[in-house]
Amino acid sequence: MGDLELKVIRALNQDSRRSFREIAKELGTSASVVIKKVKKSEESGAIKGYIPILDPADFGYALLAVIGLRISHGQLIETQRKIARDPRALAIYDVTGEWDSIVIAQFKNRQDLNRFIKAVMSQKYVERTMTHVVLNVVKDERRVIV
């Protein structure tokens, strides 16, 4: 990725609602050049989409949890895919260490979390879970640092 492409990406990363004309002016180039750079990044898959960054609490999801999973019998990917179908699961990571997988999920309340954990535990290959309830979010950066 060239220097100008990175500058365009950085500008979009700060505010993807800015016009291409505004970004072009800031970078000292034309809007058509910015459009080409953005299209190239979209086509290559570097830019996967554009979404608003929402506050989950405003939509009733005030509880965030980090859940470690121990998964047996080599059924890691299959089990992770099943859990990923639940819209409350924000991220699922295949990790090293004590746990096989880490799930980051959001819930409306403790009862919602309880139902999720019980559903996860009922899966055939899930041996054990460890749930950490997030008390305070110090940083939650969703942009890639470029």
For 63-110, the three-class secondary structure string (H helix, E strand, C coil) is EEEEEEEEECCCCHHHHHHHHHCCCCEEEEEECCCCCCEEEEEEECCH
Tens-place pLDDT, residues 103-130:
999 999 999 999 999 999 999 999 999 9
Cα end-to-end span (Å), the chain: 11
Mean pLDDT of 28-40: 96
Decide if pLDDT at 25 tops 90: yes
Distance, CA of 66 to CA of 15 (rounded, Å):
29
CATH match for 56-133 among 3.30.70.920, 3.40.50.1950, 3.40.718.10, 3.40.50.300? 3.30.70.920
- Which sequence spans correspond to the domains of the chain? 3-44, 56-133
CA 142 to chain centre: 7
d(Cα 120, Cα 91) in Å, to the nearest integer?
Answer: 15
Give pTM, 2 decimals.
0.84
Tell me if 3-44 shares its fold with 56-133.
no
pLDDT of 146 over the 90 cut? no
Tokens in use for 47? 């830019």
Fold (CATH) for 3-44: Arc Repressor Mutant, subunit A (1.10.10)
Cβ–Cβ contacts within 10 Å for residue 101, how many?
20
Instruction: Report pLDDT for 53.
Output: 87
Q: What are the angstrom distances between the C-alpha of 6 and each of 11, 21, 34, 145?
A: 9, 17, 11, 10
Indicate the residue type of 56.
P
Element holding 44 (H helix, E strand): helix 31-44
